[in-house]
Amino acid sequence: MKEGTNMASTFLFALNAVLPIFILIILGYFLKKSNFIDTHFVNILNKFVFRVGLPVLLFYNVYNINHLSEINWGVVAFAVIGIMLSFFIGILSLFITTKDREQKGVILQCIIRSNFALIGIPLAMSLGGVEAVAVVAILSLFTIPLANLLSVIALNMYHVNEFGERISVKKMMINIISNPLIIGVMLGLFALLIRSWIPVVDGELVFSIKNNLTFSYDAMRLLSQTASPMALIALGGQFEISVIKPLIKQITLGVMWRIVIVPSIMLSIAYMLEDKIVGMSHSYAALISLFGAPVAVSSAIMVHEMGGDEKLAAQLVVWTTVFSVFTIFAIVVVFRSLGAL
């Protein structure tokens, strides 16, 4: 009876973690359909989220990471290598399965970029408590910049200009360096570096943004809180039911990769390496959040801003989110039956 109760509570949590996202997407969809908002408003909202909201959110999350000296480099290396491996396997797969260049970039981004920031922390908390959240915070420091970097590369390597020419390596590097999300994370890392040099007196930094410039810290916190809901509402405003049928093959491919193939491969390898990597057995909750979450909401915004098949990107966010309720539940059941959670 107790086991059945635990399984039910796990399913309910996964549902509660994903449904708020889906509800905001639906809200955006109906606001657009009822003409409460229009396409121009959605485009402006996308620009705000991509160029202001999300960069501030990433900076804020990185800035608030503590205890960098306790980083488990084995687990970090596994997460980074796992994302890189997914990237290169995805390129090989798309060479066979997808012809449209713009769609290749969108699906490849879907393969490597999970909704780690939005779903990762509450899911990890439910599965592993405070210790799991600490692992998520450390992993986010490395995986979020990597996922954003690879996403920019994925969208640029297949993109062609109006003359049918592929983007140059120089232009690709400029796009990567100037990407607002990457800038947000890099500034956060720079702030952490500066903070490590600041003297500590009685266990407190002699100066910090959080304690000495509280007004700016609170402003960043409030601004960061606008990013996710605005991104979801804007996504719903872009969502068009009519495009599902023409894109059914590409949607199915992206969904299978994001929430079935990638977590199956990476989490299986993690379990097999449990005895070889120190701390792996205490990191499953964080790794499930990293590899098992649906594609990041910001992925659709990035496609919209950088060029590409934004309709496909929006559909992938919606359907990976919907079906991840079931796949996350299945992953948790399997790992609990193995005694790993």
* Per-residue pLDDT reduced to its tens digit, 52-66: 888 888 788 778 776
* Domain count along the chain: 1
Q: Could you tell me the CATH number of the domain that includes residue 211? A: 1.20.1530.20
Residue 172 reports pLDDT greater than 80: no
Domain that includes residue 68, residue range: 2-337
Arithmetic mean of pLDDT over the chain = 81
Residue in 297, 300, 312 with CA at minimum distance from that of residue 114? 297
Distance (Å, whole) CA 331 – CA 90: 22
Each residue of 35-47: pLDDT tens digit?
999 989 988 888 8
Each residue of 238-281: pLDDT tens digit?
776 666 778 889 999 999 999 999 999 999 999 998 878 877 87
Tell me the whole-structure pTM to 2 decimals.
0.75
Burial bucket for residue 262 (CB in 10 Å: 0-12, 13-18, 19+):
buried
Residue 104 reports pLDDT greater than 80: yes
Position 160 scores a pLDDT of 56
More confident residue, 336 or 266: 266
Residue 82 reports pLDDT greater than 90: yes
Position 1 scores a pLDDT of 43
Q: Of the spans 97-106, 119-128, 129-138, 253-262, which averages the highest pLDDT?
A: 253-262
For residue 16, count other CB atoms closer than 10 A to its CB.
Answer: 12
Query: In terms of DSSP H, where are the helices of the chain?
Result: 2-33, 39-48, 54-63, 73-97, 101-112, 121-157, 169-178, 180-197, 209-212, 214-238, 248-256, 262-272, 284-292, 298-306, 310-337
Give buried/exposed letters for 308-331 (b at 16+ CB in 10 A, else e): bbbbbbbbbbbbbbbbbbebbbbb
Dihedrals φ, ψ of 115, to 5°? Answer: -85, 55
Each residue of 227-239: pLDDT tens digit?
878 888 887 887 7
Distance (Å, whole) CA 21 – CA 321: 8
